[in-house]
Amino acid sequence: MPTDRDIVEALGARGLRLEAPGPAVGSFLPWRKVDNLVFLAGQTCDRGGQPTVTGVYGRDVELQRAREAAVVCALNLIWNLRAACDGDLGRVSHCVKVCGFVVAAPGAGDYPLVINAATELFIALWGEAGAHARTSIGVAALPGNSVVEIDAVFALKP
């Protein structure tokens, strides 16, 4: 299993980095641990307090831009997961479940391809342990007019 350093280096090799997500737009926790599970609250593609991609997939947002937004969501999830792991992503056993929401135009039913970007990142970072059960849902709107929001559940090593 990869160490915290391995994860950070793997992100850097992809030109990605972890940074704190913007403040929550509601009264909720960014994560909650229950036994060895970490339930991560939904994260939009926020950087510096602003969504990186806004709009509607299949209308004014192309697949590649929406996938980039999903990667930012995944990075925000990893940031919060790291906090839940006391700064050590090496404590992650595996990803259990991911649920992705995409603001999609009517008829744009291929939005699971957007959420694939987050799935692919988790698998790239944790190997087979990054594979997970998943749901992808098309929605009418998300906070801040973000095009994507993703939540996840991870299991930690005992």
* pLDDT single digits (tens) 26-44: 899 999 999 999 999 999 9
According to DSSP, the residues that pair with 49 across neighbouring strands are none
Domain 4-20+29-156 part of CATH 3.40.640.10: no
pLDDT of residue 22: 82
Give 110-125 pLDDT, tens digit per residue: 999 999 999 999 999 9
Domains of the chain by residue range = 4-20+29-156
pTM of the full structure:
0.97
Give 86-106 pLDDT, tens digit per residue: 999 999 999 999 999 999 999
Any residues with CB less than 8 A from the CB of 53 and at least 6 apart, and which? 45, 61, 65, 66, 68, 69, 72, 146, 147, 148
Tokens, residue 72: 């930012």
